[in-house]
Amino acid sequence: MRVLLIGSGGREHALAWKMTQSDRLEKLFVAPGNGGTQSIAENVALDVTNHAAVVDFAVRERIDLVVVGPEVPLVAGIADDLRAAGLAVFGPSKVAAQLEGSKSFTKALCDEMGIPTAAYARFDALAPALDYLDQQGAPIVIKADGLAAGKGVTVAETLEQAREAVRDCFSGTFGAAGAEVVIEECLVGEEASLFAICDGEHTVLLPAAQDHKRAFDNDKGPNTGGMGAYAPAPVMSDALIERAYREIVAPAIKGMAARGTPFSGVLFTGLMITKDGPKLIEFNTRFGDPECQVLMMMLESDLLDILEGTALGTLSGVSPRWKRGFALTVVLAANGYPGSYDKNTVIEGADAIDSDTVKIFHAGTVRNGDTLLANGGRVLNVTALGESVSEARSRAYAAVKAVDWPDGFCRSDIGWRAL
């Protein structure tokens, strides 16, 4: 198969690495890719916001499957444009990607299908939103409706914080994404993520994972894209997985199909395990980053069979096998992330780390000859397998020590909930 993978993060390096394990892979392009994908595939400097250019490239290169990693191109409708040109695509349509691209779209589907989620109200003007806050009190959660790179959510402990968050949204901090604001009940419990691959009709569940969103140890500091993850998450018992599937994932997939806009791709369900059972925090319509890194490390089966089955609507014949044990990944980020940070700092020692149990997936890296440079916020994902979470964690942190990058930092407590 000739494959084009879109994206440049740790998620895409992990997907690319797993695809290269397949005997079926003939050629892999990554657009734009990073310093890690460059070593195992061909990076192409395509502008992925230019859909016509991506379609032209895929047609010219006789691509059999296009895999879209990140949400921004999906919400912009890249899958529709590729499909219109006759290409097979792993990734949802523009309408189905609204499950991630619009919080009010998802809330409406929850109402329609009876999916348990936080009680909410939506507003497109400041005054009624502020009145509603006064009625509800704190703690309360404020969300910009659209995509805001993980920054559009405020869990407000006080009414003053809540008011400020609402004012921020309406004053344009998140651009068009904040023109509508969703205010919702603050859910209490432990968070977990469930991943379901779906071809519009058939669904295959992947192991559940847990992420660490805050920048620093003990869940302190600002929210980030994710500082580490592990899978399978012990908090998600088989019974909880079954319940979350039955009450949340399956109705969402069924509802989208019934509307004539079936969901095809990977549905990433962010859950709060409350005392009343699992409730939906949010859907994403792509793999999590860094959750994907641990899932790819755990996957025994051929990834291309799964992605292709999804794209072609033949997933009913696919049942992935998983390795025993656990995988855990530690993110190395540039000092200052998620705020401002230096670029083009030198990383040494990373290329020497590669074994059956430990891999480094790159995110914000670039190669300059033999030198590896950091050029992003999240930079490396040091990922390990183990019989237990603690063995995977020890292996990952031993490898972290072997990376020489004075300009980076990581959390030292990834996996704490599972230990």
118 lies in the binding site for ligand AMP (CB under 6 A): yes
Least gap, CB of 147 to ligand GLY (angstroms): 11
Least gap, CB of 284 to ligand GLY (angstroms): 5
Q: Residues 90, 311: contact at Cβ < 8 Å?
A: yes
Strands (E), 256-377: 264-274, 277-284, 326-334, 345-347, 358-362, 365-368, 371-374
Mask: binding to ligand AMP, 200-229, rule CB under 6 A, as x and -? -------------x----------------
Residues with Cβ < 8 Å from 200, sequence gap 6 or more? Answer: 257, 262, 263, 264, 313
Contact pick of 180, 199, 291, 302 for ligand GLY (by CB under 6 A): 291
Handedness of CA 336, 32, 55, 16 (dihedral sign): negative
For 284, the token pair is: 């994403």
Q: What single string gives the DSSP state of each residue in 143-185? A: EESS--TT-SEEEESSHHHHHHHHHHHHTTTTGGGGSSEEEEE
351 lies in the binding site for ligand AMP (CB under 6 A): no
153 lies in the binding site for ligand AMP (CB under 6 A): yes
Q: Of 234-242, 284-292, 293-301, 331-339, which part binds ligand GLY (CB under 6 A)?
A: 284-292
Contact pick of 288, 320, 338, 364 for ligand GLY (by CB under 6 A): 288
Least gap, CB of 212 to ligand GLY (angstroms): 9
Q: Residues 303, 21: contact at Cβ < 8 Å?
A: yes
Which residues ranging from 254 to 283 are in contact with ligand AMP (CB under 6 A)?
A: 270, 281-282
Question: Binding partner of residue 226 among ligand AMP, ligand GLY, none, CB under 5 to 8 Å per kind?
Answer: ligand GLY
6 lies in the binding site for ligand AMP (CB under 6 A): no
145 lies in the binding site for ligand AMP (CB under 6 A): no
12 lies in the binding site for ligand GLY (CB under 6 A): no
C-alpha 386: how far from chain center: 23
In degrees and rounded to multiples of 5, residue 218 shows phi and psi of 60, 30
Which residues ranging from 222 to 251 are in contact with ligand GLY (CB under 6 A)?
A: 225-226
31 lies in the binding site for ligand AMP (CB under 6 A): no
Q: Let me know how long the chain is.
A: 419
In degrees and rounded to multiples of 5, residue 198 shows phi and psi of -140, 140
| Binding-site ranges for ligand GLY (CB under 6 A) | 211, 225-226, 284, 288-289, 291
